[in-house]
Amino acid sequence: MTRETRRRAYGRGRRAEALAAWWLRLKGYRIVARGFRVPAGEIDLIARRGRVLAHVEVKARPSLEEAREALTPRQRRRIERAAAAFLQRRPDLAGLDQRFDVVLLAPRRRPHHLENAWHIEEALPPPPAGPYTKGR
């Protein structure tokens, strides 16, 4: 990927994040952070509505289906690690209900907000079978 291609892709991503933030604000969310990055991962948007803190990934592709398929398990784990780092820095928000959302964007389509798109338990391995577990 050339430097120019990377620069254009970065600009498209920033515009997509701005559109997603606008959409979430219309739905009553307050944007707490944008582009939160740590070595372990990154979160595009962190938004709050009431007692819910949503860690939001924004995906812009030629179609909503392609956008939905673009979020890989590896990216989910990176977002989860970044969310943990964010909450360490902002312990005042740790008591809120945590959720992972996705905003899908495609040309000439309204943004599609998937609330609770995945649960962190999906990324964790099941507990080991032991003498006190039943049938695992």
Over the stretch 28-38, which tens digit does the pLDDT of each residue have? 999 999 999 99
CA 47 – CA 98 distance, rounded (Å): 10
**Position 98 pLDDT exceeds 80:** yes
DSSP label at 128?
P
Looking at the DSSP assignment, which residues form a beta bridge with residue 41? 38
Q: What is the pLDDT of residue 123?
A: 42
Q: Look-up: residue for tokens 């080991």?
A: 128
**Position 88 pLDDT exceeds 90:** yes
Categorize the per-residue pLDDT at 55 as very low, low, confident or very high, splitting at 50, 70 and 90: very high
**Position 5 pLDDT exceeds 90:** no
**Position 136 pLDDT exceeds 50:** no
Q: What is the pLDDT of residue 120?
A: 72
Q: What top-level class would CATH report for the domain 3-121?
A: alpha beta
Do the beta carbons of residue 83 and residue 51 sit within 8 Å? no
Q: What is the pLDDT of residue 109?
A: 92
